[in-house]
Amino acid sequence: MRATALWKQPRGWLAVIVGSLLAAVITMAYIGPASDPQANVRDLPLVLVNADEGVRAGDSRVRLGSDISTQIEQTAHRDGRVAWRTVGSLQAAEQLLARDEAYAGLVLPRDFSRKAMSLVTPDGRPERPTMTVLTNEGAGGVASSMAEKAARQTAAETSASLGTQLTERMQATTATARPDAARLLLLQDPVRTLTEPGQTASGAAAGGSMTLYLTIAVLLAGLLPAMLLTMVVDAALGYGAWEIGPRRTLRPLVRIARTSTFAAKAGIGAATGFAAGSAVIAVAVWGLDVEPDQPLQLWMFAGMACAAITQLTLALFAVFGMAGQLLALLTVTLLGVPLSGATIPVEAQPGFAASMGELLPARHVTEGIRSLLFFDGLGSGLGRAWAVLVIYAVGAFLVGLVVSRLYDRCGFDRATQLELAQQQPQLPAAAAV
């Protein structure tokens, strides 16, 4: 057959069409969430600390912190882009940041009202009140940056609003005298905004980007054992050619049930997958100086994640044949990585991307790794990540086993009748199902 004859085969053109469609889907998965995350952001979690003690002004006590907190929450509720959680102490805010329940924070200190009122007290020494933005590097570069920007914007809006209120108050109290020009200028932007780290990342994991790279390594380490097992085992049983360079070897067929083949692959795959996950963490921690908060738990989690990915890939091979390899690549990496939340936070992804990512294992691998890398295992997504990966591992094994058994019962032998007839004199004894 000439090579040009292949262009006349409809299946060849079908492969071109399917490949192009898959390329379009992958592009949407990668570029869609990253095209304009600011436009898609919703319910970005931030924490607001109102530690203001207020100040006595005449016969009443002024509590600007409470008024500002209420105003910030009402504005955020109407806008829907930021979800503020108000607490009464800096310690409570740091706990939320340490559990990855907030990507940034904004602090109103205890002397906020006292300093703010000093700006409109004629005989007092004016002091600018401060608001402090707390950052969270462990949340990831994009999430931390978006949250810090939102906190700074809120501080700027608060300063402008407070300046207007204080200006009106000063003009009312000094109606018979000319207001101090220097104080009026100061009241145009009365609040000084500071920035402090609320949750930091150290060593090779600085900036939170290590979550993405370690997630990719774990996902690939789970895929490779399944692909290698399928190739090696099928070649050893005579159902696939062993081809290295110019040499091609095809062993005699071994008559074995699909159920037995899948069970053997699954057992070896579970051990191999866990070993692959262990190798990833060993190299990262001992070889590349990654400093996780919980190294032992991270090792166990990575091993379990790799084993689950291996089981999922083997099940896809058992159900769909060679097409399972493409489906595994799509679900685990090609679609899983961009929708995992390791780069663009889930709160800034389009609705379809956030919902689809929730169904894929990469999202839960990311949550578990981030929690164990930066948040001492206290991240809210760690428990759910463990549960989902266990469900994936057990579910994939059961589905692969049931479908393989069904194929056996329906007489779908892996070898064709012609192959069996040609190999009949050499066939070993049949394996028990």
pLDDT mean over 167-183: 68
Residue 210 counted as domain residue: yes
pLDDT digits (tens, 9 = 90+) for 98-129: 888 999 999 999 999 999 888 887 777 888 99
Q: Do residues 192 and 215 share a domain?
A: no
pLDDT digits (tens, 9 = 90+) for 221-249: 999 999 999 999 988 888 877 888 888 88
- In sequence order, what are the beta bridge partners of 248? 243
Q: Do residues 177 and 249 share a domain?
A: no
Confidence of residue 415 (pLDDT cuts 50, 70, 90): low
Supply the pTM of this predicted model.
Answer: 0.84
90 pLDDT higher than 50: yes
Closest CA to 124 of 79, 170, 91, 87: 170
Residue 1 counted as domain residue: no
Query: Would you state the pLDDT for residue 204?
Result: 46
CATH (domain of 69): 3.40.1710
Closest CA to 80 of 43, 46, 45: 43
**Contact predicate 328/226, CB 8 Å:** yes
Confidence of residue 432 (pLDDT cuts 50, 70, 90): very low
Residue with token string 């890939």: 313
Query: Would you state the pLDDT for residue 419?
Result: 56
Q: Do residues 107 and 19 share a domain?
A: no
Chosen domain end from 163, 178, 200: 200
pLDDT mean over 78-90: 92
Chosen domain end from 170, 200, 230: 200
Confidence of residue 388 (pLDDT cuts 50, 70, 90): very high
Contacts of 352 (CB under 8 A, 6+ apart): none
Q: Do residues 91 and 182 share a domain?
A: yes
Residue 113 counted as domain residue: yes
Closest CA to 137 of 127, 145, 129: 145
Better-scored residue on pLDDT, 320 or 240: 320
Average pLDDT over all residues of the chain? 86
pLDDT digits (tens, 9 = 90+) for 336-374: 999 998 888 999 888 888 888 899 999 999 999 999 988
425 pLDDT higher than 80: no
Residue 416 counted as domain residue: yes
Number of domains in the chain: 2
Count of residues in the chain: 433
Q: Do residues 220 and 344 share a domain?
A: yes
Chosen domain end from 151, 178, 200: 200
Q: Do residues 337 and 308 share a domain?
A: yes
201 pLDDT higher than 80: no
pLDDT mean over 196-218: 75
Contacts of 204 (CB under 8 A, 6+ apart): 210, 288, 289, 290, 291
Q: Do residues 196 and 327 share a domain?
A: no
21 pLDDT higher than 80: yes
Query: Would you state the pLDDT for residue 290?
Result: 86
Domain of residue 87: give its range: 41-200
Q: Do residues 256 and 386 share a domain?
A: yes
Confidence of residue 255 (pLDDT cuts 50, 70, 90): confident
pLDDT mean over 147-168: 91
